[in-house]
Amino acid sequence: MKQYLKNTFDGIFTVLVGMKVTFKHLFTPAVTIQYPDVKVKLPERVRNRLYVNMDDCIGCDQCSRACPVSCIEIETVKSIPGEDLGITSNGKKKALWVTKFNIDIAKCCYCQLCVFPCPTECIYMTDVYEFAEYERSNFLYKFATLTDEEAVQKKINYEKLQAEKAAAAAKPKPETPAQTENKPE
Amino acid sequence: MYQFLYDLIGNEILAGLLVAVVPLTIILVFALFGIWLERKVSAHMQDRLGPMRTGWHGWLQTVADLMKMLQKEDIIATDADKTLYNIAPVLVFTGSFAAYAVIPFSSKLLGSEVEIGLFYVIAISSLVVAGILMAGWSANNKYSLLGAMRAAAQIISYEIPTALIVLSMVMFTGTLSLDKISQMQTSSFWNWNIFGGAIFGLSKFLLIPFMIVGALIIFTSTLAEVNRVPFDIPEAESELVAGYFTEYCGMKWGMFMLAEYGNMFAVSAIISILFLGGYQSPIGYLGNSIGTQWLVPFEQGFWFIAKGLALVFVQMWLRWTLPRLRVDQLMTVCWKYLIPFAFINLIIIGIISLI
């Protein structure tokens, strides 16, 4: 009988204890973050979408070689004398036309290895993380600033220069073989 | 209510239909509001926010869900007993809806002024058991059947303490009419039955502890009758998928949901009529003090809904506090604890009301 009354009391008492706990939580501010409206501030060194600042790119191809998944594709054409490509923000003179700078972000593994070798710090990780797409082809980010026609024109200019040089070199010394086109990939 | 409408319209059928529409509207609106409240209460008790994106703090979420439910395909399993399967949700909903027929929302808004209102409510709410058993059996699914069997065992067991407490209140008040019980507890909260009713003297103070025990017992047993946590083993999600309505989808499932919320408010209304003064205001009426008598029924309606919602909130509060009881624990609580206490309570209240 004593046990029976104790059970009854415990039953009511423990329920009230539980109710007190839940009632306290009813007025605790929620921890929910209303995601699309409110965003958590990301850490400083967060690794997300890659971005290339083409004003600073000198087309050195080091990022492409550092990439472990080969998601960066760069093609460059040498400039001809007289063309001014400007200088980068840290004073390096640009010498190559970057005709193609593609990053396939779908392949990217966000390792950030491409960022460190860059001599002008023009490729870096941004804090943009919402870039879902419906088409896989949209993940191929094209950063080259030259239009296709311009790129073709630059190539023709360079080849013309090479041909002229070769012609000039061939005249006095015909025995030297024509210089082969040395275009970085 | 019916008499008033009949005098107004002069057509028996139309007046009857209109009287029936009022509780239906209340039950539908309450179900919409109740589901939203349940979500918000559960969310805030778990330090979440709950639905936030449809309307102000997600108040349109239930409407959106209802739209989805109406568009759903009505699937009936091949081996199900189609007739019973289709009748079951209607029967369950009828059981909870019919209880509203006698519940007095205010002194002017009475569905039916029957003298045996309490008896009728106890009787008609048993219809739900038949519906649930039908649903579980006809679906031809082991989980449904298990859920239905558990529901039948649980609801029938817990009807006994409910009936005993109702009996003690009938002994105390001397009437079965819900309207008369409400009228007895008028003028102040001190006259509510939980505080010994509108009598004065020693017996009132003697009654108070037993009335509180009675209110606790009837609250617990009605909580079990509407299959809510911690007594939700008939629809235990983690064991039985959804219990007796596992196989239902679309609006038929919606009817079970509607019946659950309808039942929640119905039992809260019964408890508030028996113990908390029904539609009576705890502090007196504004309409009486400023001399506008027509305001009083509206105030009574407000107090009735407020009391009902407060009890519904406690039901939700318990749901998000307690874990589910095991089957044997459930039966222990009913047969070993609630029923003996209800019996003792019945006898003591009987003796005290004699002196």
C-alpha to C-alpha distance for B153 and B340, rounded to whole angstroms: 19
Q: Does A24 touch chain B (CB under 8 A)?
A: no
Residue B198 scores a pLDDT above 80: no
Mean pLDDT over the full length of chain B: 84
- Residues from chain B that touch A33, judged by Cβ atoms under 8 A, are none
- Looking at the partner chain, which of A25, A29, A31 has a beta carbon nearest the beta carbon of B45? A25
Best mutation target among A4, A16, A26, A27 (most B Cβ atoms within 10 Å) is: A26
Contact across the interface for A30 and B44, Cβ inside 8 Å: yes
**A101 within a domain of the structure (yes/no):** yes
Secondary structure (3-state) at A80: coil
B50: phi > 0 → left, psi -120 to 50 → alpha, else beta; which?
left
Q: Which residue of B has its CA nearest to A11?
A: B333
**A90 within a domain of the structure (yes/no):** yes
Residue B136 scores a pLDDT above 60: yes
Q: What pLDDT sits at residue A177?
A: 53
Contact across the interface for B337 and A34, Cβ inside 8 Å: no
Q: Which residue of B has its CA nearest to A28?
A: B47
Binned at pLDDT 50, 70 and 90, residue B148 comes out as confident
**A42 within a domain of the structure (yes/no):** no
Residues 6+ apart with CB under 8 A from A92: A58, A119, A120
Alpha-carbon distance B54 to nearest alpha carbon in chain A (angstroms): 13
Residue B39 scores a pLDDT above 80: yes
Average pLDDT across each block of 10 residues of chain A; the chain has 185 residues. List them in order: 89 90 87 85 86 85 89 86 76 81 88 88 86 88 83 84 84 57 53
**A15 within a domain of the structure (yes/no):** no
ipTM of the complex in this document: 0.78
**Mean local confidence (pLDDT), B4-11:** 74
B227: phi > 0 → left, psi -120 to 50 → alpha, else beta; which?
left
Q: What pLDDT sits at residue A173?
A: 59
**A16 within a domain of the structure (yes/no):** no
Q: Which residue of B has its CA nearest to A36?
A: B53
Share of chain B above pLDDT 70, in %: 99
| Amino acid letter, residue A127 | D
**A32 within a domain of the structure (yes/no):** no
Question: Is the CB of residue B345 less than 8 Å from the CB of residue B214?
Answer: yes
Contact across the interface for B321 and A19, Cβ inside 8 Å: yes
Contact across the interface for A30 and B47, Cβ inside 8 Å: yes
**A140 within a domain of the structure (yes/no):** yes
Contact across the interface for B320 and A31, Cβ inside 8 Å: no
Q: What pLDDT sits at residue A57?
A: 85
Residue B18 scores a pLDDT above 60: yes
Q: What pLDDT sits at residue B325?
A: 84
**Mean local confidence (pLDDT), B205-231:** 86
Closest CA to B105 of B222, B272, B262, B259: B272
**Mean local confidence (pLDDT), B149-158:** 87
Contact across the interface for A15 and B41, Cβ inside 8 Å: no
**A134 within a domain of the structure (yes/no):** yes
CATH number at residue A113: 3.30.70.3270
**Cα angle vertex A148, ends A144, A150, to 5°?**
90
Closest CA to A82 of A63, A95, A65, A67: A95
Q: Which residue of A has its CA nearest to B46?
A: A25
C-alpha to C-alpha distance for B32 and B63, rounded to whole angstroms: 7
Q: What pLDDT sits at residue A180?
A: 53
**Number of domains forming the structure of chain A:** 1
Residue B110 scores a pLDDT above 70: yes
Q: What is the pLDDT of residues B260-295, one digit of tens each?
A: 888 888 889 889 988 888 888 888 777 777 777 778
| Amino acid letter, residue B227 | N
Domain of residue A83, residue span: 50-166
Alpha-carbon distance B24 to nearest alpha carbon in chain A (angstroms): 31
Q: What pLDDT sits at residue A181?
A: 52
H/E run at residue A96: strand A96-104
Residue B28 scores a pLDDT above 80: yes
Q: What pLDDT sits at residue A179?
A: 53
Other Cβ atoms within 10 Å of B229 Cβ, number: 20
- Residues from chain A that touch B342, judged by Cβ atoms under 8 A, are none
Alpha-carbon distance A132 to nearest alpha carbon in chain B (angstroms): 22
Q: Which residue of A has its CA nearest to B47?
A: A30
Could you tell me whether strands A140-142 and A96-104 are parallel, antiparallel, or unpaired per DSSP bridges? antiparallel
pTM > 0.90: no
In chain A, positions 35-74, which contact chain B (CB-CB < 8 Å)? none
Q: What pLDDT sits at residue A164?
A: 86
- Residues from chain A that touch B317, judged by Cβ atoms under 8 A, are 19, 22-23
